[in-house]
Structure 1
Amino acid sequence: MEIPELGISIRTRRHAINKTLVELATETGLTAGFISQLERNLTSPSITSLVVIAKALGVSIGDLIQQPAQLQPDTYRGQRQPYSVASGRVKYERLSTVFPGSQVHSVKFTMPAGYKSEMVSHEGDEMIYVLSGRVGYTVGKDNYVLNVGDSLHFDANIPHSIESLPHENQVAEVIWVGTVSLFDGPQQPEPAVQKHLLRGTEFF
């Protein structure tokens, strides 16, 4: 589902707005080395890092990658379409829709053992719930080890990263919920489901 040559798209946009690597790194909180590797398609960003990069470039995340549409309020196991960012190792499944007034976005992501994301910070809250495997989270100076059934909720303005720790399952599955905008919107749901969307945002 990703747009080919993500790195080229980022570099082209950066040049178009006359930003240097150092300037983009400063605005995003990512390192210039990481962005340089990303622009040369030598690495792939986490989805939240991509949101931060898109914002600094003055574009939406939808201008950089394609994500599955989710017009319905409900999703079902086996029917969601997995996708990745620039052929990265993490597989995402979109769980949330977007409608006027919605405030949270959610994805399920699956990480292979040994995966570790770059450090990133962004506005809003972030919360994860571990479905399988063993997960390490660094938030500022604090380190957390989370097992199945464990959760973590924190201020995403604090630099943070996630990793999949060695485990017999070989993969870690996590439900991620946050207030940073992962998906473009609002999207208009089909009339048949309009009545199910409540004012504000609720999870049951």
Structure 2
Amino acid sequence: MDPIQATIAKNLTKFRKNRNLSLTQLSELTGVSKAMLAQIENSKSSPTVTTLWKIANGLQVSFSSFIQEEEPDIRKISINELEPIADNEGNYLVYPFFPYHPEKKFEIYIVTLKPGCTHESKTHLGDEYLLVKEGKLLVTVGMQEHKVQSGDALQFSGSTPHSYTNSSKETASFFLLMYYPEPQ
């Protein structure tokens, strides 16, 4: 069986079942015979482009959604596999563990600040959720200063000017979840 055929079969079945549609109902929506739909779902037939377009239009999904492979249920990422994004001459390192995905509306990083480093962050949409992994930081949000250390957390709007300072003699690191809500 062709791998793309299996992917189409799995996605078609998922779309149909998520909408609680029988094959007969799906046939009525799409104009594709019940027998053909059953063959596609069972990976016994590979649909033509025209047939796939009919199904996509009937279900009101994108054509490409049929060939997208599902993300694995479990993803393991090691910091050693990531290339950090550096700023402040390498004293501020951002490791992108889970980059932004429009369906999930968040991204997760680990950030490290070397001793003596201050990073002035650009304002941005959304909220920041900071959880200190190790060390001590001074987080300035607007005119307020917040001393945080290992085990502490802080939440604030990214649209407020903010900075991170490590005035200690040890490297500080923190988890940073950035959440982007729906536009109002």
TM-score scaled to structure 2, two decimals? 0.52
1:124, 1:97 → 2: CA distance? Answer: 15
1:165 equivalent to 2:128? Answer: no
**Match among 85, 107, 110 for residue 109 of structure 2:** 107
Alignment-derived partner of residue 125 in structure 2: 123
SS in 1 for 2:160: coil
Which of 131, 137, 140 is equivalent to 2:139? 137
Name which of 146, 149, 161 aligns with 1:147.
Answer: 149
In angstroms, what is the RMSD of aligned CA positions? Answer: 2.3
Q: Which whole-Å CA distance do the structure 1 matches of 2:155 and 2:101 have between them?
A: 24
1:96 maps to which residue? 98
**Is 1:75 the equivalent of 2:77?**
yes
Report percent identity of matched pairs.
21
Give me the whole-angstrom Cα distance separating, in 1, the residues matched to 2:142 and 2:125: 15
Q: CA deviation at 1:102?
A: 2.0
Contact 2:115 2:168 in 1 (8 A): yes
> Bigger radius of gyration, 1 or 2?
2
Deviation, structure 1 residue 166? 1.0
Specify the SS of the correspondent of 1:92. Answer: strand
Segments of structure 1 that go 5 or more residues without pairing to the other structure are 1-70, 181-204
Give, in whole Å, the separation in 2 of the partners of 1:130 and 1:173: 6
What amino acid does structure 1 have at the position aligned with 2:145?
Answer: N
Unaligned runs of 5+ in 2: 1-70
Superposed displacement of residue 140, structure 1 = 1.2
Report the 3-state secondary structure (helix = DSSP H, G, I; strand = E; otherwise coil) of the residue aligned with 1:176. strand
Aligned-partner SS, 2:118: coil
Aligned counterparts of 2:174 and 2:134: Cα–Cα separation in 1: 7
How many residues end up aligned between the 2 structures?
108
Match of 2:177 in 1: 177
Whole-Å Cα distance in 2 between the matches of residues 134 and 90 of structure 1?
Answer: 14
- Aligned-partner SS, 1:106: strand
Instruction: Write 1 or 2 for the structure with the bigger share of helix.
Output: 2
Q: Secondary structure at the match of 2:120?
A: coil
Distance 1:86 1:137, change over 3 A: closer
Q: Residues 169-191 of structure 1, C-alpha deviation per residue, up to 9 Å, x if partnerless?
A: x21111111135xxxxxxxxxxx
